[in-house]
Amino acid sequence: MHLEKLSLTNFKNYEDNRFTFGKQINVLVGPNGSGKTNLLDAIYFLALSKSAFQSQDALSILHDADYFIIDGIFEENSDTSHARQVQITISLQRGQRKVLMADKKPYERVSEHIGRFPVVLVAPNDTDLVRDHSEDRRQFFDGVLAQLDPEYLRNYLQYQQVLKQRNSVLKLFAERNQVDHDLLDTYDEPLLALGQQIYDRRVQFVADYMPSFQKHYAYLSDEREQVSIIYESEVGNPDFVNEFRNSRRRDTLLQRTTMGVHKDDYGFMISNSIGESVPLKKFGSQGQQKTFVIALKLAQFDLLEVQKGIKPLLLLDDIFDKLDDKRIGKLIRQMDEGAFGQLFITDARPERTRELLNQVTADINFFDIGTTKV
Distance between CA 258 and CA 149 in Å, rounded?
27
Q: Can you tell me the distance from the alpha carbon of 216 to that of 97, in angstroms, rounded to the nearest whole number?
A: 40
Parent domain of 209: 127-308
Give yes or no for a contact between 68 and 59, defined as CB atoms under 8 angstroms apart. Answer: no
Do 194 and 303 lie in one domain? The reply is yes
pLDDT band with cut points at 50, 70 and 90 for residue 81: low
261 and 360, same structural domain? no
Q: Of 1, 121, 18, which is closest to residue 367 (Cα–Cα)?
A: 18
**pLDDT given at position 373:** 41
State percent of the chain over pLDDT 90.
70
* Average pLDDT in the chain: 91
Query: Taking 90 as the threshold, does the pLDDT of residue 275 lie above it?
Result: no
Largest pairwise CA distance in the chain: 71
pLDDT of res. 13: 93
Question: Residues 149, 39: one domain?
Answer: no
121: left (phi > 0), else alpha (psi -120 to 50), else beta? beta
- Domain with residue 69: its CATH number is 3.40.50.300
What pLDDT, on a 0 to 100 scale, did the predictor assign at position 79?
Answer: 54
Does 96 score more than 80 pLDDT? Answer: yes
- Number of domains composing the chain: 2
Q: What is the pLDDT of residues 211-251, one digit of tens each?
A: 999 999 999 888 889 999 999 999 999 999 999 999 999 99
97-106, 157-166, 312-321: which range is least confident on average? 312-321
The pair phi, psi for residue 152, each rounded to 5°, is -60, -45
Residue 374: the pLDDT is 35
Confidence of residue 372 (pLDDT cuts 50, 70, 90): very low
The answer for 246, left when phi > 0, alpha when psi is -120 to 50, beta otherwise, is alpha
Q: Is the pLDDT at 206 greater than 70, yes or no?
A: yes
Clarify whether residues 90 and 173 are in a common domain.
no
Q: Contact, 219 vs 330, CB < 8 A?
A: yes
352 backbone φψ class: left, alpha, beta (φ>0; ψ -120 to 50):
alpha
